[in-house]
Structure 1
Amino acid sequence: MNSVKKVILQAGILLLFSNFLFAEFTIGLYGVKTSSDVISAKEAGFNCVQSYISSPETINLLAEEAEKNDIKLVVYPTKIMSSKYKEVAKRYPIKAWYLFDEPDVWNCSKEKLLSLEKNTKKMYPEIQTTFVIGEGFTKVPYYDIADILMVDWYPVPHLPLESFGENVALAKQGLIMMGKENKELWAVVQLFDWKEYKQYRKDEDRIGRFPKKEEIRFMSYDAVFNGATGLFYFTCYSNGKPLSESRPKEWAKTTEVIQEMSFVGEIVDNGKKIENPIEIKEPLKGQSFEYGGIKYTFIINPTSKRQTLPSLFFQPQFDVMYEKSTNIKKIMRKTKNNLQPYRVLAFRYE
């Protein structure tokens, strides 16, 4: 089979699998505001959306649109519980009620967060709850509250890119410390430009940029490598307008990454973890799985320097996924198999 036909066949297989399995691994989009946002998120490949809007009327509209589009919601429960929608909300397609946004940043006491959890569970005992922390380690140990923990950490361009995965790992350690190692952990990946947000700098300089596709992709894989069981992306807006309208190129590259990660997440969730077919030495990280009769190996370079990858991975039996195999193999040969900083490679083989 020639290389072109192989790439087409591979893409068809991936699409087939993703159609059947897409909804199981949570791939969410932060900050939706309107029904049209819900539709755009679904079209892009997301299976969950979060909204900061707490108005019961707006949440009801979002829920109606989410139901039509087979997509889940993460929204605040507080105002809904005292509104005329409190009973119908039991039938909303809620993935989890959103208790609080960054309690560690806003100095929310553990008692207050526990009270929010208790009141929400009293009204909706069958629906999961969640909240997000602003860094992996929090002085107040919130880790035993809610059904799902989220962690956001936005390094581009101020901090080393690997600090994202490090904070996911810290959050995972916090869950283990509190005896909650099996709790779901969702990582929130940066999409936005820091120049659009307050930075608390004395010089008031506006420093920032949108993350590159390669950076979004690396953070996504790095999160999964460090224990994330779901991924969210923050946010779908730029300067108050939807990314799909105001920044179509940013929206397009995000869509490419999340469609890839939805399939990778299904492999991680449902596949059998196996030994790497070839030894992968630190600081490179590799994980391998068998799923649907096919084996997969994912390799990341979580450093700012080039790292040598075993040349055996470029034998014919290993197909490079999500990239043009012939091109990547030529590039690797030219660089003496040095994997670029923060690069990801995905292989499939039988």
Structure 2
Amino acid sequence: MKTAFLLLSLYAASPCQLAAGEFFPVCMYGITKPAELAVLKKAGFNCFQSYEQAPEALAALAAGADKAGLKMVAMPDRVIGSAFDKQARKWPMLAWYLYDEPEVRRLPLADLQALDKRVKDWAPGQRTAFVMGAGLAAFTYGGAADALMVDWYPVPHLPLESVGQQVTLLKEGAKVMDAANPAKPVWAVLQAFDWMEFPQRKARRIGRFPAAWEIRFMTYLALARGANGIFYFKYASQDNKPLPETPERWAMFEAMAAEVNRLGPLLAKGKTVEPPPGLPGALSATVFKARGHKYMILLNPALANVPVDVEALKGWRPLFEEKRSIAELLPGNKRNYFPPYRVLILEN
């Protein structure tokens, strides 16, 4: 907890300062009660998703969100035509949530498009979105809605770098299926749960909660591959224990919310530029320019150590780290290397 406090203090002093009015979604799935919104706000989140469908429950969440300055994602089905029909069109929506994984449920594309049209006819001033269970599904459904989401939960059974593959597929599917809307947002839904809580096909069940370094790597890999917002699934375990009741876990997401709140909008508004010469090809370097500075998401998406010449990073300063020297952050003394799944956020 002391480390988390120190890091949050460093974030507060970071040069990545945002102008008023900028918004980059940093959201938590599975909110059910208005009282949970103050906890989210304090932790640094700016939006949430809810599976609640009762219009009265959603109205209470909307009122709480409006008061807290949060945006919400929720299902419109039972709100349309209800006593809250008119006022819901003014709720602080990030998006109306059309459907959960249509490819898994084999929903015909025409049905999803009809639902999208119904919601837009009802609330033309509000955005629509839906989530897919794999990025490949965007090549079927990517023309629907105003924003696309992909949920991908690899820990511990799949490589972490598969998150980046899914975000890339999502974006490419959107380009193919909605070519007239090249700026269509894509949002990554990342793992904040233990697979042991869910039914599994094999008798020998596997699962665990992601470690802090895994959450950080998945988050930045998604951003590097073009995600325009980050969601974490989900706020409470299957036995309804909220994440904040496990402080060491909640601190992970507080730290990530602090980082993404500062870097995300800069990434969204920045212009992509070439990385500095001399970096190993095995590393992933995403460089963008915003407000007179350059920022780089530098990560190792492989299981092997990658040697790196820190001279290639001369002039770059690490953000969100306790140490301010790249040479001190990377192991190897004078033969520095990037360990597997290591992430550095740098500013020039």
TM-score (normalizing by structure 2):
0.91
Does residue 71 of structure 2 align to residue 50 of structure 1?
Answer: no
The number of equivalent residue pairs is: 338
- The CA distance in 2 between the partners of 1:140 and 1:108, in whole Å, is 14
Change (3 A) 1:58 1:290: same
Partner in structure 1 of residue 273 of structure 2: 274
Deviation at 1:307, TM superposition (A): 1.2
Deviation at 1:206, TM superposition (A): 3.1
Partner in structure 1 of residue 236 of structure 2: 237
Deviations 1:82-126 (A, max 9, x none): 210000101100110000011111111112211211111111111
Partner in structure 1 of residue 14 of structure 2: 14
Deviation at 1:11, TM superposition (A): 4.1
Deviations 1:58-94 (A, max 9, x none): 0000000000000001000010002100001011001
Deviation at 1:305, TM superposition (A): 1.3
Partner in structure 1 of residue 316 of structure 2: 318
* Alignment map for 1:233-312 (pairs within 5 Å): 233-238=232-237, 239-245=239-245, 247-312=246-311
Change (3 A) 1:22 1:343: farther
- Decide which moves more: 305-314 or 192-201: 305-314
- The CA distance in 2 between the partners of 1:15 and 1:206, in whole Å, is 45
Deviation at 1:16, TM superposition (A): 7.3
Give the letter aligned to residue 321 of structure 1: L
- The CA distance in 1 between the partners of 2:244 and 2:312, in whole Å, is 37
Partner in structure 2 of residue 3 of structure 1: none
Deviations 1:204-231 (A, max 9, x none): x331111111111111111112121111
Does the 8 Å CA contact 1:25/1:266 hold for their aligned counterparts? yes
CA RMSD of aligned residues (A): 2.2
- Runs (5+) with no aligned partner, structure 2: 1-6
- Decide which moves more: 128-137 or 104-113: 104-113
SS in 2 for 1:312: helix
Does residue 190 of structure 2 align to residue 192 of structure 1?
Answer: no
Of the three residues 328, 336, 339, the one matched with 1:330 is: 328
Does the 8 Å CA contact 1:22/1:266 hold for their aligned counterparts? no
Does the 8 Å CA contact 1:314/1:329 hold for their aligned counterparts? no
- The CA distance in 2 between the partners of 1:324 and 1:36, in whole Å, is 34
Does the 8 Å CA contact 1:104/1:140 hold for their aligned counterparts? no
Change (3 A) 1:94 1:64: same
- The CA distance in 2 between the partners of 1:9 and 1:31, in whole Å, is 28
- Runs (5+) with no aligned partner, structure 1: 1-6
Change (3 A) 1:267 1:90: same
Partner in structure 1 of residue 67 of structure 2: 68
Partner in structure 2 of residue 344 of structure 1: 343
Deviation at 1:128, TM superposition (A): 0.4
SS in 2 for 1:334: coil
Give the letter aligned to residue 240 of structure 1: N
Deviations 1:140-184 (A, max 9, x none): 700000000000110000101101110111111111221243211
Deviation at 1:15, TM superposition (A): 7.5
- The CA distance in 1 between the partners of 2:80 and 2:342, in whole Å, is 46
SS in 2 for 1:80: coil
Change (3 A) 1:219 1:11: closer
SS in 2 for 1:144: coil
SS in 2 for 1:240: coil
Q: Among the aligned pairs, what percent are the same residue?
A: 37
- The CA distance in 1 between the partners of 2:331 and 2:214, in whole Å, is 23
* Alignment map for 1:26-45 (pairs within 5 Å): 26-45=25-44
Change (3 A) 1:175 1:60: same
Deviation at 1:284, TM superposition (A): 0.7
* Alignment map for 1:138-153 (pairs within 5 Å): 138=137, 141-153=140-152
TM-score (normalizing by structure 1):
0.90
